Structure 1
Amino acid sequence: MADRISEDITFRKLEALLAFMDTGNLAKAAEALDVSTVSVHRALHSLEEGLRCALFRHEGRNLLPTEAAQVLADVAREVLKTMSDGIRMTREAAGYSADQLKIGSLYSLTIRTVPQVVIGIKVRRPSLQTELVLGSNADLLDKLRQGTIDATLMGLPEPSADIESIPMFEDDIFFAAPEHSHYARLDAVDLRLCRDEPFVSLGDGFVTSSGFAEAFRIADFTPNVVMKVGDIFSLMNLVGGGIGYSLLPGRVRDVFASNVAFIPLTPEYGLKQTIGLSFLRRRERDPNLLALAAVCRMLTPAASGKGC
């Protein structure tokens, strides 16, 4: 077993040694470290006690380093650099302030919200590389907890002790029908009048599929779902092609405006989605996530695509 290092030898004291060796002066070393001259002098004296050998000699009022001090200074530079690199690599392994940020997102948010967020984070942290991971609410929440993504833009999850969420905007849910459908001419649609219609929907785990299920619970019947898909753009293609009707958030209405009509539901449904940023609470002080949170807080509903 290697000899144990005296508790008198610390990183702070080694920093004081290097500052003194670089400046040759107690006052200048203290200024460089933003501490008092007395603190530097005590640190140097404490190192001598920990090493049990002299590092300096006095010539009048001057403190001159010995050869032993130079040897320790050379080693200290390597030790401090190695430790600094180790801290950086440890943080990167944990996803803390790494050079890359993995952001999860719902497919529907790639229309406006994601581009706005990516532009905003680039302005704040130009060297940061962003990677986008798409999926359902359930899938993204699972990836967040596993640590495979750093944060996610999605429907806000149920309150949880391990998740921090920042609301960004609310989005209304609409009845989606082909543009030529007779429903497209209505001011509002009551789902109870659609019992015999075919429907298409997203698979389980999507925030939109949760709203879909809630709407038909209110309507008090089980819809005839003829097909389920794994992304909202495929779902809109099916609606536009006349395969079935669906319920969709207003933020995607411009994507297929020419062949899909978005008709409000009657007031008793009152369905909305709250979209926001979510990340692990234990990483709330991560500089990258702090920058991302600041960007998301500044986004206006219009920039996020609400009502568009």
Structure 2
Amino acid sequence: MIDEEITLKKLEIFLAFMRLSSLARVSEEVGQSIVSVHRALHSLEQGLRCQLFQREGRKLTALPAAFAFASHAQRAVAETEEGIRKVRELAGFNSNRLRIGSLYSLTLRCIPHLLMGLKLRRPDLHIDLTLGSNKDLLQGLVDGRLDAVVIGLQAPSDNAALVAVPLFEDEVRLAAPLQSPYAGMAQVDLKALRSEQFITLGDGFVTSDSFNHAFRQAGFVPETAMRVGDIFSLINLVGSGMGYSLLPARVAEYSGRIELIPLAEPYASHQVITLLLSKSRERDPNLLALAAESRMFGKGGSARA
């Protein structure tokens, strides 16, 4: 059994001394006092139950036993460092690849801006981008298939297992085809659309949650003519006059065939676009860089969204 006095840190100090032959230089390299370095070497001898050094005043001279032990200590430290590197890489920590999940509707401005900034911070980083619904992306984060996700939330995250970095808040509006009866209105009362047909995203999308929330506030369930699986199809269907929908303001530039009209205050609904990552990995250098870039984006406000 290995004595508890024998630790990897002490082995590193021992190897540094064997290389530098000076307590002062070892102290400077490891960032500890000379007394602490001397104490570590002495306690290592105690743990080995074997003298490693000859003491001549304040000077230490390595004995043959120290040279014999050094090669074994070097292998132990090197194997441990390699094991740590491989485990971190397997877990995605400090890897040169980052797996990010995002909503489709963030790919016009937000995600390109984040990824360009991230590449400037980490030039050697390879990025895998996965697009999907809130539900699928969150599950990917929980399962470890994704390292971070940028999604929309109805309210700020209170999940203690996740680190949340808000980027911007987006307003949900009525999506109508051009020249609709509601065109040009400063705001629209959802109750006035009780007889209209709507198109919405399937369950699992934050925009679907926003849709349901707004109509709960309006006090009725709208007639849903169709459910689709992506926001681009929804925008095209609305633009073709197939029905109305509720969409976040950030999609305005995706199509010149729809108009986004603000909702009256009682039905207002917002999405908080947020970076989420596991708290257990918040010190990962790649994720630190992504979080820093997200905070910088957040300071710029929704004008860049």
User: Of residues 61, 67, 75 in structure 1, which corresponds to 2:64?
Assistant: 67
User: Of residues 122, 142, 145 in structure 2, which corresponds to 1:148?
Assistant: 145
1:178 matched to 2:177: yes
Alpha-carbon distance between aligned partners in 1 of 2:264 and 2:14, rounded to the nearest angstrom: 75
User: Of residues 254, 265, 268 in structure 1, which corresponds to 2:266?
Assistant: 268
TM-fit CA distance, 1:58: 5.3
Deviation sequence 1:22-65 (CA, Å, 0-9, x none): 11222222222222333333333333333333333457875332
Tell me the residue number matched to 2:208.
209
- Output aligned runs, 1:93-104, within 5 Å: 93-104=90-101
- Structure 1 residue runs of 5 or longer lacking an equivalent are none
Tell me the residue number matched to 2:279.
281
Alpha-carbon distance between aligned partners in 1 of 2:11 and 2:158, rounded to the nearest angstrom: 46
Aligned residues: 301
Letter matched to residue 17 of structure 1: F
Q: 1:41 to 1:236 in 2, by over 3 A?
A: same
Q: 1:145 to 1:304 in 2, by over 3 A?
A: farther
Letter matched to residue 179 of structure 2: H
TM-fit CA distance, 1:239: 1.0
Contact 2:168 2:302 (C-alpha < 8 Å) held by counterparts: no
Letter matched to residue 264 of structure 1: P
Aligned-residue CA RMSD (Å):
2.2
Q: 1:73 to 1:303 in 2, by over 3 A?
A: farther
Q: 1:30 to 1:187 in 2, by over 3 A?
A: closer
TM-fit CA distance, 1:114: 0.6
Alpha-carbon distance between aligned partners in 2 of 1:241 and 1:122, rounded to the nearest angstrom: 39
TM-fit CA distance, 1:204: 0.7
TM-fit CA distance, 1:212: 0.9
Contact 2:198 2:225 (C-alpha < 8 Å) held by counterparts: yes
TM-fit CA distance, 1:270: 1.7
Segment drifting more, 45-54 vs 116-125: 45-54
- Output aligned runs, 1:56-135, within 5 Å: 56-57=53-54, 62-135=59-132
TM-fit CA distance, 1:284: 3.0
Tell me the residue number matched to 2:50.
53
TM-fit CA distance, 1:99: 2.3
Tell me the residue number matched to 1:12.
9
- Structure 2 residue runs of 5 or longer lacking an equivalent are none
Alpha-carbon distance between aligned partners in 2 of 1:301 and 1:26, rounded to the nearest angstrom: 54
Segment drifting more, 207-216 vs 275-284: 275-284
Alpha-carbon distance between aligned partners in 2 of 1:245 and 1:97, rounded to the nearest angstrom: 46
TM-fit CA distance, 1:186: 3.2
TM-fit CA distance, 1:127: 2.4
Contact 1:199 1:224 (C-alpha < 8 Å) held by counterparts: yes
Moved over 6 A (4+): none
Tell me the residue number matched to 1:194.
193
TM-fit CA distance, 1:202: 0.4
1:253 is paired with a residue whose SS is: helix
Segment drifting more, 61-70 vs 167-176: 61-70
Q: 1:17 to 1:238 in 2, by over 3 A?
A: same
TM-score with structure 1 setting the length: 0.89
Deviation sequence 1:99-157 (CA, Å, 0-9, x none): 22222111101111111111222222222222212111122222222222122111126
Contact 1:169 1:304 (C-alpha < 8 Å) held by counterparts: no
TM-fit CA distance, 1:176: 1.0
Alpha-carbon distance between aligned partners in 1 of 2:243 and 2:58, rounded to the nearest angstrom: 91
Q: 1:9 to 1:187 in 2, by over 3 A?
A: closer
User: Of residues 131, 135, 140 in structure 2, which corresponds to 1:138?
Assistant: 135
Tell me the residue number matched to 1:246.
245
Alpha-carbon distance between aligned partners in 1 of 2:14 and 2:169, rounded to the nearest angstrom: 57
Tell me the residue number matched to 2:221.
222
